[in-house]
Amino acid sequence: MERKTERAWIEVNTGNLCHNVETLKKAMQPGCELMAVVKAQAYGHGAVLTASYLNQMGVSAFAVATVEEGIALREAGIRGEILILGYTDVRRAEELKEYDLMQTLISYEYADALNQQGVTVKAHIKIDTGMHRLGIACGELSAVRKLFFMENIRVCGMFTHLCCSDSRQPDDMAFTRGQIEKFYSLADALRDSGIILPKLHIQSSYGLLNYPDLVCDYVRVGIALYGVLSAPNDDTVLKPDLRPVLSLKSRVVLIREVRAGESVGYGRSFTAGHTARIAILPIGYGDGFPRSLSEGKGRVLIRQYVAPVVGRICMDQLAVDITDAEGITVGDTATLVGAEGYDELSAPAVADHSDSISNELLCRMGARLPVITRSEDRRFHTPE
């Protein structure tokens, strides 16, 4: 048994990752480039490991959330463009330059302050077309135009974010089309005023899957890159053959008999109605498996049996009822998320049962779990 798999671990199928890259590229418009979103430890998959494989697959554009995430990729030898999607203190301009990172300009005032640091920084302009989070309002043509003439700002791209592109409700689709129109109108106005446009991007995963006709230079692919959608019942215009990349696994470390009337775990929330066999797994909400899946809401696959979680999920352990299962022994592997052939254990289904989405579920797994790889594809080597 590998040391990394003694307790609990994340398993990444690099063959499925490669398949998803190739599948998504085919869905994009000609000339468009895939920008892999690897923030939050690549949605729990391991940022350096994932980006290293993506580099080997020919992906050379990445997006992260923070300057620290960008620096970590550079120090691991990741090549290509790295865009920081979120805020970076302008006093870190030297680091942006040193590590060749591109910073999102979140407002005109922010861009002006960054420019005043006296360090040439690569940047993408964020345009607010209706999400009202980060960005310069799409109607502020003059302010956006001034960014192209700032001495220390090198504008390499311009983008917006679609806030409801995952929805196919008529009102939401109309709002999304309005966002798209506003962005292109601003781009046209800049061009008409003599600005040579930088690279443009609008679509994230659902933007591609529901609005595949858009002509841009990048598609920022996050959750779809990892082979799942945010929720199990999401309907999209495109339905590509995406394959889940991540599995969450643990070991059975103890099997105990609980007699009728005895309880298991905190709060005595589970009391056996009859003699039961309980398997203990050394994994809990501290590893990103939601506590809200306690008391029968969660399921775990051990051998060919799907066993319910009983009692409350602890920070580092949980219990499952294996009374009706045969042959399960200490040391057996338990799959909590991503069991092939079991839809109820897919990331979207598990997240839905915990009143969340796949994005959050996967991101929360990256804190302390080791990541191992599984692939039959010999084209790629595992990063050290």
Catalytic residues: 39, 266
What are the start-end ranges of the E strands in the chain? 8-13, 33-37, 61-64, 81-84, 102-105, 121-128, 136-137, 153-159, 199-201, 218-221, 246-251, 254-258, 263-264, 270-271, 276-281, 299-302, 305-310, 318-321, 333-337, 371-374
Q: Residue 18 contacts by C-beta under 8 Å, 6 or more apart in sequence?
A: 53, 57, 375, 377, 379, 380
For residue 77 the two structure tokens come to: 């030898």
Type of residue at 179: Q
DSSP code of 129?
Answer: S
The one-letter amino acid at 140: E
Which amino acid does the sequence have at 47? A
d(CA 295, CA 279): 14
Whole-angstrom distance, CA of residue 326 vs CA of residue 304: 10
Contact 283, 293 (CB under 8 A): no
How wide is the angle at C-alpha 233 spanned by C-alphas 232 and 237, nearest 5°?
Answer: 115
Amino acid occupying residue 343? D
Q: How far apart are CA 374 and CA 169, in angstroms?
A: 39
